Amino acid sequence: MKKIYTLSLFLMAFIFANAQVNQVIDINSGSANSNPSNLVVYNGNIYFSADDSSGVNTGGADLGAELWISDGTPGGTSLVKDIRTGSSSSNPFAFFEYNGNLYFSANDGTTADLWTTDGTDAGTVKIDLFPGVSEAVQRPIELNGIMYMTGIASTGDTNDLIQWDGTTASNANTTANDENILSPMVALNGKLLMYASYEPDDATVDNELYEFDPATGAFTLIKDIAPGTSSSSISNLTLLGSEVYFEADNDLWVTDGTNAGTVLVSAATNASVSNVTNFYAWNGNLYFEGDDGNGDQLWKYDPNADTVTNLSNIAGTDNSNHDPQDYLPYNGWLYYRGEDANDTSGHLFRTDGTVVEQLDNTVKDVDDIVLLNNILYFEGEDEVLGTGNELFSFDPATLSITSLSSNFDVKIYPNPSVDVINITHNINAEIDYQIIDVTGKLVKNGTIEQNQIRHNLDSGIYFLKLYTNTKLAKTQKIIVR
């Protein structure tokens, strides 16, 4: 059941007793979006960027997208600091923890620099690695106790490799040659792998797979995947065991850090799986989005068996793409954002590596999933509440599940409706229903009899929720004339 935040939500707490995805707080009051993004858990709280343009939770002023903190409760969710004063946004991003402290990049209106925070206004201060330069550091990764980031170390440069020991920062490249790093980095065998260009190779090689060796302070080309001056468009470098998997020219590749050991994954190639993206390594397997001609699905690659498996296998009249992303492992499951067969909105799903389960179909635009105190938190939008993109939570201990592979087939007509709604389906079980208006008020509920719901509803837009065995099976917008 939803926790009670305001008087209006008090009335809805009983209406949504079966819903397990709960709005934590309506930061940007009303239907406007606060767009909580870049969520990260640190020291028992969630830090993120959000925008309360309504000013309801920021003393009446529109402060733009700034740094917020939440302990998972409405009372424990608040603005930390207005870094860029006024209505302009500092847009905090690239959060990372290093030596027990939390850091991030933000623009205070003068330069985009590194900042640190302890969750208080006074304790949120600029580090400014290179005074006078807008370094805008991102893609942080720690290797051998040193933090590496991409940014601008000198005016006129782009995407330098910066090293920082918590006190002193410098360009990690000790040669006179310029580098341009274009992807997040991954550590393998004491070196950093990345998609980049390197000045000495520019005449013959474009953007390709490189490594950086901290011992020599130099970059070395691993493999020219797209020979000549073409780029291989590498992304999603992901460490799994002693190898790194990545996408190049839409295909699945793997490398051990050597030229000879950088090859196509034949299992994916043989299965005609291409357009790969959104990688995640979990339980010894690689999970990723791929398309074998039947839409973008959730795939699993098992390196021991050298097999690829389509886990989601979604197909529907409205949407054939599952588009998985934003993974988070917890308690034997991999939670993520995915699409069902009915729409292109991103809902909450999970997989154990064999089955795929849909956990909710009302909250859409799921993004940036994190875990705090055994509860999942993420950005989302509840189509019934109509409060825009806000901060939501999901308790895995009390979930109700709709399986993606469910054979529940239902037709709802006519739509618009006058005084009757016909519902045909293919299951031998009672179906309960709720009809909710656009304000979130329950206006009618019961059990479907003779495949019909008779009503005398006022003209307007409503949401019809169908339940089988107390589990939410479908939500559909209906219009009453």
User: Considering the chain, what is the average pLDDT of its residues?
Assistant: 89
* pLDDT at residue 346 is higher than 50: yes
At 16 the pLDDT is 30
Number of Cβ atoms within 10 Å of the Cβ of 103: 22
What the chain holds in terms of domains, given with CATH numbers, is 7-407 (2.130.10.10), 408-481 (2.60.40.10)
429 pLDDT above the threshold of 90:
no
Q: What pLDDT band is residue 188 in, cutting at 50, 70 and 90?
A: very high
What's the pLDDT at 391? 93
User: In which band, very low, low, confident or very high, does the pLDDT at 10 lie, cut at 50, 70 and 90?
Assistant: very low
- The predicted-structure confidence for 17-51, as pLDDT tens digits, reads as follows 334 688 898 898 888 899 999 999 999 999 999 99
Q: In this structure, what DSSP letter does residue 2 have?
A: P
Would the pLDDT of 64 be above 70? Answer: yes
Q: How many CB atoms lie within 10 A of CB 397?
A: 8
Q: Which of 300-309, 326-335, 369-378, 422-431 has the lowest mean pLDDT?
A: 422-431
* pLDDT reading at 2 higher than 60: no
Q: In the predicted model, what is the mean pLDDT of residues 391-395?
A: 91
The gap from C-alpha 212 to its chain's centroid, in whole angstroms, comes to: 28
Lowest mean pLDDT among 133-137, 209-213, 236-240: 133-137
Residue carrying the six token digits 């709720």: 434
| Average confidence (pLDDT) over 332-341 | 95
| DSSP string across 189-242 | TTEEEEEEEEGGGTTT--SEEEEEETTTTEEEEEE-SS-TT-----EEEEEETT
pLDDT > 90 in the chain, percent: 71
Residues near 150 by Cβ (< 8 Å), separated by ≥ 6?
137, 138, 139, 159, 160, 161, 162, 181, 185
**36 and 368 Cβ atoms separated by less than 8 Å:** yes
Q: Tell me what pLDDT residue 427 has.
A: 74
pLDDT mean over 283-291:
98
- Which amino acid appears at position 96 of this protein? F
- pLDDT by residue (tens digit) across 116-167? 999 999 999 999 999 989 999 999 999 999 999 999 988 778 899 999 999 9
What's the pLDDT band for 472 if we cut at 50, 70, 90?
Answer: low
> CA separation (Å) from 246 to 29, 146, 270, 278?
41, 24, 17, 10
